[in-house]
Amino acid sequence: MGDEWQATFDFAVTVARKAGEEIRKAGESEIKVSTKSSTVDLVTKTDERVEKIIIGALKDEFGEGNHRFIGEESMAKGQPCILTDQPTWIIDPVDGTTNFVHGFPFVAVSIAFAVNKELEFGVIYSCMEDKMYKARKGKGAFCNDEPIQVSDVKDIKKSIIISEHGTDRSKDKVSKIFSTMKKILCIPVHGLRGSGTAATNMCLVATGAVEAFFEIGIHCWDIAAGAVIVKEAGGVLMDVDGGPFDLMSRRMVSANNETIAERIIKEIERFPVPRDD
């Protein structure tokens, strides 16, 4: 890729920062909460307002009919989630809504851009930390304009692994999630962590703070931007069964290298989830 999308990329960074400032402002005022699919998966007025800010700004800049949009809030209202060859924005306005509601300090704006079904760039603004992560295909990954790269650890026993419990509280799925975590913890690894936001988790892989992040049940808008950032920081993306990464499959392992990824895959107890598309 040449500089064809540089201006688009720069604009996305500006929009992400503006959205993050809105989230920070909202965090200082009273938060009224409504529920999505479960009491754990919380949605706020801020979610909806921030998505309108992001999509509104992008439509004003690039035109109503030229670009498509896949966003968490619009999908929740029943719009189809289909990735075509057209330029497409994949947006999570507030990744870490539950964190936001509780004042837990990891909340991210996630904006990715795809053309011909290929991710061209990703921008993640961890707004409570004021950390701007960004990457363009073939151009490297950065945090606050400083280059970042994954860790060089190859021994799983010297690694920190990050994952989440998901929002589905059915006993069977929870049992499999905890069984997987127990098996990984007992390898043993240095530790298991979870920030409560997939976007931030992927940035932690990209900066080398953790060696891997895996989850079943995430959505394309949670991980699209992070996928570009991890890859450009030198990391790998795989399916939880060891096959190639599929953005719409709702399952993923992102790691600093294949050795770590494949070792984690051996321990994952898989369960079915419906695809995003």
For 156-185, how does the pLDDT look when each residue is reduced to its tens digit (9 = 90+)? 999 999 999 988 899 999 999 999 999 999
At 65 the three-state DSSP class reads: coil
How sure is the predictor about 1, in pLDDT bands with cuts at 50, 70 and 90?
Answer: very low
Q: Return the higher-pLDDT residue of 123 and 73.
A: 123
On the question of pLDDT at 214 being above 70, the answer is yes
> In this predicted structure, what is the pLDDT of residue 111?
98
Residue 77 burial class via C-beta count within 10 angstroms: exposed 0-12, middle 13-18, buried 19 and up: exposed
Separation of alpha carbons 95 and 200, rounded Å: 8
Mean pLDDT of 88-109: 93
Return the sign of the alpha-carbon dihedral for residues 35, 40, 41, 42: positive
> In this predicted structure, what is the pLDDT of residue 33?
61
Mean pLDDT of 81-89: 93
Strand 212-216 to 251-255 pairing: antiparallel
* Cβ(22)–Cβ(53) below 8 Å: yes
Mean pLDDT of 77-87: 86
How sure is the predictor about 7, in pLDDT bands with cuts at 50, 70 and 90?
Answer: very high
Q: Say what percent of the chain tops pLDDT 70.
A: 94
Range(s) for CATH 3.30.540.10 in the chain? Answer: 6-147
**CATH class for the domain made up of 156-265:** alpha beta
Separation of alpha carbons 109 and 18, rounded Å: 10
At 12 the three-state DSSP class reads: helix
**CATH class for the domain made up of 6-147:** alpha beta
Q: Give CB contacts under 8 A, 24+ apart, made by 125-130.
A: 125/16, 125/17, 125/19, 125/20, 126/199, 126/200, 126/203, 127/19, 127/20, 127/21, 127/23, 127/24, 128/24, 128/27, 129/105
Radius of gyration in angstroms for the set of CA atoms belonging to the chain, rounded to a whole number: 18
Kindly report the length of the chain.
277
On the question of pLDDT at 89 being above 80, the answer is yes
For the chain, what is the mean pLDDT? 92
Range(s) for CATH 3.40.190.80 in the chain? Answer: 156-265
pTM as predicted: 0.94
> In this predicted structure, what is the pLDDT of residue 32?
57
Among candidates 129, 274, 112, which has minimal Cα distance to 195? 129
DSSP of 137-181, one letter per residue?
A: TTS-EEETTEE--------GGG-EEEE---S---HHHHHHHHHHH
* Cβ(150)–Cβ(257) below 8 Å: yes
DSSP of 92-131, one letter per residue?
A: EEEETHHHHHHT-S--EEEEEEEETTEEEEEEEEETTTTE
On the question of pLDDT at 6 being above 60, the answer is yes
In this predicted model, what pLDDT tens digit does every residue of 130-143 receive, in sequence order? 999 999 999 999 99
> In this predicted structure, what is the pLDDT of residue 134?
98
